[in-house]
Amino acid sequence: MALVEPVPGEPAAVADLDAAATEGGRRAGTERALVVADYHAGIEQSLRREGLEVRSRAARRREHLLGLVDETGADRVVFLGDLGHAIGTPEGAEHDELDALFGALDVPATLVVGNHDGGLADAYDLAATPPEGARFGDVGFAHGHTWPSPEVLAAETVCVGHEHPSVRLEDDVGGSRVERAWLRGPLVAAPFEAHHGRDLPIRGELAVFPAFNDLSGGTWVNVEGQGFLAPFLPEACPDADAYLLDGTRLGRYCDV
């Protein structure tokens, strides 16, 4: 079994982690972590400021996450960046949503700091990584808004979010729909070596997570002209395959 496995039908994965590093102390054994990217708590508050009338889905998001914790038997939740939506210390609806989430969550959480997470770890006393990510055993985590550290890149599987990958699918009569997707493929060392200015022992694969929040939009990875958000994509993983949430392999993302 791979170290990181998507939960069938869900924008989430389970990962086997070296527990020694997850709280900064030394503990033996491994943990089973539920990993979700781009939760974007409080996004409706921002959308309403933009003129979109959207009712809060905070309770639905919370119950969805808590259900996945129970379903997977997770020992920990890893938020793969952008747990919050506003850039800065959470306030208003975002603060209330996160308060309710952490009041109900009965396993510890780790925040992989993303570009929307300023002040959030301190506000909720969360274990947090640096912006360039961290490695737990043979799994590396970085949000993806900046270049992952060499330590993260040396992992067997490197997990990132930030991109919110989606695919636009067309039918035979010209209709289309957009679905969230995973991207997964072998890492190419050259872009990272050029950035870090040295040779790196890169040997693994990249897993780009779909956004957990279905209101957060995304990059249509199979549509020409849709640029990637991460500074290392697509050059660092040009042969990534796209997968739907149900596990359907669509083939190389740009050929879908």
Q: What is the pLDDT of residue 80?
A: 97
Question: How far apart, in whole angstroms, are the C-alpha atoms of residue 39 and residue 41?
Answer: 6
In tens, the pLDDT along 228-241 reads 999 999 999 999 99
Quick one: DSSP state of residue 255?
Answer: G
Contact (CB, 8 A) for 61 and 105: no
Overall number of domains in the chain: 1
Burial class (CB in 10 A: 0-12, 13-18, 19+), 143: buried
Quick one: DSSP state of residue 247?
Answer: -
DSSP string covering 7-55, please?
Answer: PTTSS-EEEEEEGGGTTSS---SEEEEEEEB---BTHHHHHHHTT----
pTM (2 d.p.): 0.91
184 to each of 133, 209, 226, how far by Cα in Å? 18, 9, 18
In tens, the pLDDT along 94-111 reads 889 999 999 999 999 999
Question: How far apart, in whole angstroms, are the C-alpha atoms of residue 212 and residue 77?
Answer: 13
Query: In which element (H, E) is residue 69 found?
Result: helix 58-72
Cis bond before residue 231 (omega within 30° of 0): no
Question: How far apart, in whole angstroms, are the C-alpha atoms of residue 163 and residue 238?
Answer: 15
Structural domain span for residue 102: 4-255
Question: How far apart, in whole angstroms, are the C-alpha atoms of residue 37 and residue 238?
Answer: 21
Residue type, 256: V
Question: How far apart, in whole angstroms, are the C-alpha atoms of residue 218 and residue 168?
Answer: 11
Q: What is the pLDDT of residue 52?
A: 74
Q: Please list the pLDDT of the chain residue by residue as tens digits (256 residues).
A: 478 999 999 999 999 987 555 444 334 468 899 999 999 998 888 777 777 777 888 999 999 999 999 999 999 999 999 998 876 677 788 889 999 999 999 999 999 999 878 888 888 889 999 999 999 999 999 999 999 999 999 999 999 999 999 999 887 666 788 899 999 999 999 999 999 999 999 999 999 999 999 988 888 998 888 889 999 999 999 999 999 999 999 999 988 8
Measured over the CA atoms of residue 212, residue 163, residue 250 and residue 79, the dihedral's sign is negative
